[in-house]
Amino acid sequence: MSACWPTLHMTVNGEDRAVQAPPMKRLLDVLREDLRLTGTKEGCGEGECGSCSVRMNGELVNSCLVPVLQAEGACIQTVEGLAANGELHPLQQAFLQCGGAQCGICTPGMLMAAAQLLARNPHPSLAEIREGLAGNLCRCTGFTRIFESVIAAAAHNAEDSTNRSAEQEADAR
Amino acid sequence: MRGNPEGHELIAPGSLAAVLELLSRAPGEWTPIAGGTELMVAHAAGQLRAQKLVSLWGIPDLRFIETSPKSIAIGASTTFCDLRAHAEVAAHLPLLAKAASWIGSIANQSRATLGGNLVNGSPAADSSPALLVYDAEIEMVSVRGRRRIPYAAFHTQYKRNAMATDELLYAIHLPLRFAHHRQYMRKVGTRRAMAISKVALAATALVTNGLVNEIRLAAASLAAFPTRLYQTEAALLGQTIAPDTIQAARNALLAEAQPIDDIRSTAEYRRHVAANLLEESLIELGSKETPR
pLDDT of residue A157: 82
Q: Tell me the pLDDT of chain B averaged across its residues.
A: 95
What band does B289 get if pLDDT is binned at 50, 70 and 90?
low
B17 in helix, strand or coil? Answer: helix
pLDDT of residue B261: 87
pLDDT of residue B292: 44
The ipTM value here is 0.93
Summarize the confidence of residues A119-137 as an average pLDDT: 96
Cα B141 from Cα B259, distance rounded (Å): 33
What band does A141 get if pLDDT is binned at 50, 70 and 90?
confident
Q: What is the pTM of this model?
A: 0.94
Q: Tell me which CATH code domain A2-81 carries.
A: 3.10.20.30
Q: Tell me which CATH code domain B60-175 carries.
A: 3.30.465.10
Residues sharing a CB contact under 8 Å with residue A104, sequence separation 6 or more, in sequence order: none
* Closest residue in chain B to residue A66, using alpha carbons only: B36
- Reported as a single tens digit per residue, the pLDDT across B174-204 is 999 999 999 999 999 988 788 888 999 999 9
Tell me, yes or no, if B55 comes closer than 8 A to chain A by beta carbon: yes
pLDDT at residue B288 tops 70? no
Nearest CB among B8, B36, B45 relative to A66 is that of B36
Task: Give exposure, B116-139, as e/b (b: 16+ Cβ within 10 Å).
Answer: bbbbbbbbbbbbbbbbbbbbbbbb
Nearest CB among A24, A50, A60 relative to B110 is that of A60
Write the class of the CATH domain B5-55.
Answer: alpha beta
- For chain A, give the DSSP string: -GGGSPEEEEEETTEEEEEE--TTSBHHHIIIIIS--TTS--SSSSSSS-TTEEEETTEEEEGGG-BGGGGTT-EEE-GGGTSBTTB--HHHHHHHHHT--SS-SSHHHHHHHHHHHHHH-SS--HHHHHHHTTT---SSS-SHHHHHHHHHHHHHHHHHHHHHHHHHHHHH-
Summarize the confidence of residues B229-250 as an average pLDDT: 97
Q: Tell me which CATH code domain A90-172 carries.
A: 1.10.150.120
Contact between chains at A62 and B41 (C-beta distance less than 8 A) = no
pLDDT of residue A158: 78
Determine whether domain B182-287 maps to CATH 3.90.960.10: no
Tell me, yes or no, if B57 comes closer than 8 A to chain A by beta carbon: yes
Cα B283 from Cα A11, distance rounded (Å): 54
> Percentage of chain B surpassing pLDDT 70?
98
Summarize the confidence of residues B276-284 as an average pLDDT: 96
pLDDT of residue A163: 67
Amino acid in the structure at residue A171: D
